[in-house]
Structure 1
Amino acid sequence: MMAMNTLTPQSTQLSLSQWFSRNLSAVIAVAGAQRETQRDALAPRPLSAVKIQQQTGIARSTLRALKSPVHGSDANPDLSTIERLAEALGVPPAFLLMRPQDWALLASAIDNSGDYLAAAHKLEAEDRLQAVNPVEKVLRECKVHPDQRPSLLGASPEVARANARDEWRRRACLKLDALMLREISKSGPRKWLAAIAGAWVSQTTPHDPSSSEQ
């Protein structure tokens, strides 16, 4: 996958919990306010543990454990803790859980979303973007779904693989619909999200879904 080629092997081996700790530490390190007397006005400053405790109610000892877990253990915050930290830091909660491979895949989907956005515009003009499963409709409009079947082959491994890819994309579209578009009705964001989701599904479709666990 192209988006993954830019990552170091180490970055793909860390657990989600380890990435949460790294993300939390990285954001805290630059989230502090500038001092008027600071010599370098552009230099980032950390948000103090005292300030975080005041804003979130999270004890400094807990914050230390989340940022730097004891060797052999992982940070395991509950959703309420993640939400409070994200609010104090001014970032979406999901961003604290994003891994480099997630950012790379998202960037690649956005970069490749041009044709899918044009398809979403067309669907909206035809009043079809608000219908069920808009992401699959975008893929169909772009003619990347369903797979073309080899002619005159009948039942064959190629046809079976095409069927498996179609089913994988169908389910992926429904899942991204549920995650990304379920609560979004405004046309502008909905078009962009449908386009990004379509590009995401297209570029992540396995060559042979039947050969791996889905």
Structure 2
Amino acid sequence: MADIEREAMEYDVVIVGAGPAGLSAAIRLKQLDADLNVVVLEKGSEVGAHILSGAVLDPCGLDALIPDWKEKGAPLNTAVNEDNFYMLGEAGQIRIPNFPMPPLMNNHGNYIVSMGNVCRWMAEQAEELGVEIFPGMACSEMVYGENGEVKGVVAGVFGLEADGSYGPNTELGMELHGKYVFLSEGVRGSLSKEVIAKYDLSAGKEPQ
């Protein structure tokens, strides 16, 4: 809807999605340059609301990003102390020995976590560094510049008609422009799919 006049806000970096990837990027950017203006937009009513909750987490990424995460109270409380593998069938379950399993199946040193809680904690760390985080701000459209480059996103559009069109009661939202725009929506994000199609980014690539 390029013909719609919206209020625009300018940032150095606009990040779509307050999951582990988006929040890690925001934290790292502020660690590298505290003067950067970084904003994270999250469609959920709160950070973590759209995160697949249960996970086994390898803390190596957290070790690199926030080495003192234990002192900062990261919610990694339950260490994995045993791995058991079973083959399930009509007759029940059969235990499989651990030794033929690939190394990635060894979870010793990892933690059983709620990724929703981990993301909420990461959001706190990001905000302490000066990152702006806007929950409840779904991004519905990309904004492109005069030369076809990604310029930003449209966020905060509410009250669309049943067919998805703009009506008299539609809140038009605002444009958030960034020198860089990170799309970390998760798998099959609508904006990511649009950008992939526009720039033919999947040509010659495997989907994964």
TM-score calculated relative to the size of structure 2: 0.25
Between 1 and 2, higher relative CO (CA 8 Å, sep ≥ 6) is seen in 2
TM-score calculated relative to the size of structure 1: 0.25
Structure 1 or 2, whichever has the larger Rg, is 1
More strand by share: 2
